[in-house]
C-alpha cells in the first residue's frame, strides 16, 4: 500500500496577510463594542445618580413650600402679630388678584 500524502494547500503570502487582517479587524471590533458598552453602562449609572438627586430636591422643595404655606397662614400671622403687640384689623388688608 502506498502512503497517501495529505495534500496541503499552501497559502500565498497575500492570503495569509488577508487572514491576519480579518482577524485583527474582528478583534478591534470586539474591543470597540466592549468599550462602548462600558461607556454606556457608566453613563446609565450617572443618570441614575442624577435622577436620585432630582427626586431628593423635589421632595425638599415640596417640604419648603409646605413650610411657606404654613408660615403665611392667617393663624400664624395673627399669632406673630400678637407677639409683637400688633393688632389685626381685616379692613386694613387689601387683596390683589
pLDDT in tens, 72-89: 888 888 888 888 888 877
Collect all residues with Cβ–Cβ distance below 8 Å to 70 and sequence separation of at least 6: 76
Residue 97 is assigned to a structural domain of this protein: no
Distance CA 66, CA 60 (A): 10
Number of domains into which the chain is organized: 1
> What is the SS3 assignment for 84?
coil
Residue 28 is assigned to a structural domain of this protein: yes
Residue 7 is assigned to a structural domain of this protein: no
41-45, 52-56, 59-63, 77-81: range with lowest mean pLDDT: 77-81
Domain extent at residue 28: 13-92
**Res 2 pLDDT > 60:** no
pTM of the model: 0.57
Amino acid at each position: 500500500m502506498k502512503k497517501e500524502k495529505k495534500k496541503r494547500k499552501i497559502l500565498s503570502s497575500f492570503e495569509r496577510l488577508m487572514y491576519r487582517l480579518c482577524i485583527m479587524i474582528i478583534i478591534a471590533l470586539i474591543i470597540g463594542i466592549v468599550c462602548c458598552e462600558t461607556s454606556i453602562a457608566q453613563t446609565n449609572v450617572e443618570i441614575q445618580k442624577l435622577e436620585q438627586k432630582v427626586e431628593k430636591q423635589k421632595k425638599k422643595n415640596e417640604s419648603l413650600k409646605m413650610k411657606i404655606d404654613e408660615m403665611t397662614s392667617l393663624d400664624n400671622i395673627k399669632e406673630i402679630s400678637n407677639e409683637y403687640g400688633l393688632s389685626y384689623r381685616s379692613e386694613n388688608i387689601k387683596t390683589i388678584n
